């Protein structure tokens, strides 16, 4: 399993507050909620493949050398 990479995120305070409320509703941390939303958007856009039934990892659609 790949390790997670930390990076700073600049985000509008209103967007962050909305993400916090959404995360609270789903019993997730804000970080986990942002990752969930990003993963879902990537899958829906066809940018990645689901590698497990419950999405915990994603796989690039592009072939690796």
Residue 42 lies in a domain: yes
Residue 9 lies in a domain: no
**51 with 61: CB under 8 angstroms?**
no
As for how many domains the chain has, the answer is 1
Residue 56 lies in a domain: yes
Residue 53 lies in a domain: yes
Check residues 31 and 63 and name the one with the higher pLDDT: 31
Could you tell me the CA-to-CA distances from 25 to 17, 18, 33, 42, 44 in Å, in that order? 12, 11, 10, 22, 22
Span 2-61, pLDDT tens digits: 688 899 999 999 999 999 999 999 999 999 999 999 988 988 888 887 765 555 555 655
**30 with 23: CB under 8 angstroms?**
yes
Structural domain of 20: 14-60
Q: What is the pTM of this model?
A: 0.71
Residue 30 lies in a domain: yes
């Amino acid at each position: 399993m790949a390790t997670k990479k930390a990076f700073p995120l600049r985000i509008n305070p209103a967007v962050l507050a909305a993400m916090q409320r959404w995360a609270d509703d789903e019993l997730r941390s804000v970080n986990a909620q942002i990752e969930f939303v990003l993963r879902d958007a990537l899958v829906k856009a066809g940018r990645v493949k689901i590698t497990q039934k419950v999405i915990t990892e994603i796989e690039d659609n592009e072939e690796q050398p």
